[in-house]
């Protein structure tokens, strides 16, 4: 199993038992240490200190978050933590900045990374799900932000998580890498795609690699997962053994696909390959590839 994946979990106590207990949550919000993680347009408040970046936490009565809808994220030790969206025109409080989470993710402590990923995903869900999918009526937030109920038809709506298979496909000493249109120049990564309704993860791995690159995959195994809140994905890191080598590209999905030998991949991570740039630090693709290069996947 692969450890140390960014957003890979910090053992946060989500305290779901408290979500329906308004009195207990109100008492928790009055206790010392209670904090609110604020995001503006999906960008969390981050403060840079001597030990590196940390997720900013505002007091529940702070001007950016007081009175705004919030989601109870859980207990950090004894302290309650909530998430709230700051106004679109809000300036960050002194010493803080609104951070692109993709850029900041790898530098955050594990607990802060889990809180940030959770806050971004759940606030994004609320922003896009104000109306009932069954009847179109406006819905009401219940369960401290973990559910929306429709007063018109009685439907319950729950936050979405969309599974994405991402796969290290190897053949001998080489790994199959691809590049999507619009990515930063030279960047290549592992192939990936959404798991479809009614499909197993293993079948999704084989289908995506066949559709995008024309390569047949045999045995598939699971490595590790990574919450990826853009907007609501759960990356399911897998390993697959290729049964064929010839690549037939689907140009609608990929701009390039190629087999990259281990030695060249190591040079790409060192920034020494003239054409290939490795996946971004913090992305599960980078974790998986580095583990493969280090021989830690067996």
Binding interface with Zn ion (CB under 5 A): 132, 134-135, 137, 150, 152-153, 155
Minimum gap (Å) between residue 20 Cβ and Zn ion? 21
DSSP secondary structure letter of residue 297? T
Minimum gap (Å) between residue 85 Cβ and Zn ion? 24
Asked whether 9 and 114 are in contact (CB, 8 A), the reply is yes
Helix (H, G, I), strand (E, B) or coil at 294: coil
Of the pair 62, 159, the CB lying nearest Zn ion is at 159
DSSP-based helix, strand, coil % in the chain, nearest 5: 25, 35, 45
DSSP secondary structure letter of residue 87? P
Of the pair 6, 139, the CB lying nearest Zn ion is at 139
Minimum gap (Å) between residue 70 Cβ and Zn ion? 24
Of the pair 129, 277, the CB lying nearest Zn ion is at 129
Minimum gap (Å) between residue 18 Cβ and Zn ion? 27
Candidates 203, 123, 159; CA nearest to 16 is 159
Instruction: Copy the structure tokens of residue 198.
Output: 């009614």
Minimum gap (Å) between residue 133 Cβ and Zn ion? 8
Of the pair 153, 272, the CB lying nearest Zn ion is at 153
Rounded to whole angstroms, how far apart are CA atoms 138 and 213? 43
Asked whether 110 and 9 are in contact (CB, 8 A), the reply is yes
Instruction: List, in sequence order, the alpha helices (H) in 78-200.
Output: 101-104, 110-128
Minimum gap (Å) between residue 148 Cβ and Zn ion? 10
- How would you class 175 by CB atoms within 10 Å of its CB: exposed for 0-12, middle for 13-18, buried for 19 or more? buried
Candidates 169, 201, 226, 165; CA nearest to 4 is 226
Of the pair 90, 155, the CB lying nearest Zn ion is at 155
DSSP secondary structure letter of residue 163? E
Minimum gap (Å) between residue 124 Cβ and Zn ion? 21
Of the pair 157, 262, the CB lying nearest Zn ion is at 157
- How would you class 201 by CB atoms within 10 Å of its CB: exposed for 0-12, middle for 13-18, buried for 19 or more? middle
With a CB cutoff of 8 Å and minimum separation 6, the contacts of 131 are: 137, 138, 139
Of the pair 29, 134, the CB lying nearest Zn ion is at 134
Minimum gap (Å) between residue 96 Cβ and Zn ion? 39
The rounded radius of gyration (Å) of the Cα atoms in the chain is: 21
Of the pair 154, 186, the CB lying nearest Zn ion is at 154
């Amino acid at each position: 199993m692969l450890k140390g994946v960014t957003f890979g979990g910090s053992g946060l106590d989500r305290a779901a038992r408290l979500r329906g207990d308004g009195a207990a949550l109100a008492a928790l919000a009055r206790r010392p240490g209670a904090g609110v993680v604020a995001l503006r347009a999906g960008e969390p408040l981050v403060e840079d200190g001597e030990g590196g970046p940390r997720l900013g936490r505002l007091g529940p009565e702070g001007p950016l978050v007081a009175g705004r809808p919030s989601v109870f994220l859980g207990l950090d030790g004894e302290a309650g933590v909530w998430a709230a969206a700051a106004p679109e025109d809000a300036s960050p409080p002194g010493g803080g900045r609104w951070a692109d989470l993709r850029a900041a993710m790898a530098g955050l402590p594990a607990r802060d990374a889990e809180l940030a990923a959770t806050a971004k995903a759940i606030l994004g869900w609320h922003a896009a799900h104000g109306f009932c999918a069954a009847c179109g009526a406006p819905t009401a937030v219940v369960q401290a932000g973990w559910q929306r109920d429709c007063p018109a038809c009685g439907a319950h709506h729950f936050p979405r998580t969309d599974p994405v298979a991402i796969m290290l496909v190897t053949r001998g000493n080489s790994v199959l890498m691809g590049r999507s249109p619009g990515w930063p120049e030279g960047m290549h990564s592992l192939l990936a795609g959404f798991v479809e309704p009614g499909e197993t993860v293993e079948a999704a791995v084989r289908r995506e690699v066949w559709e995008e690159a024309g390569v047949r995959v045999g045995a598939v195994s699971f490595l590790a997962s990574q919450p990826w809140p853009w907007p609501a994905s759960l990356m399911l890191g897998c390993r697959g053994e290729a049964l064929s080598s010839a690549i037939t590209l689907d140009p609608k999905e990929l701009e390039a696909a190629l087999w990259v030998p281990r030695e060249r991949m190591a040079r790409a991570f060192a920034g020494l390959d003239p054409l290939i740039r490795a996946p971004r630090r913090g992305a599960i693709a980078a974790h998986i590839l580095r583990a493969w290069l280090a021989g830690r996947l067996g």
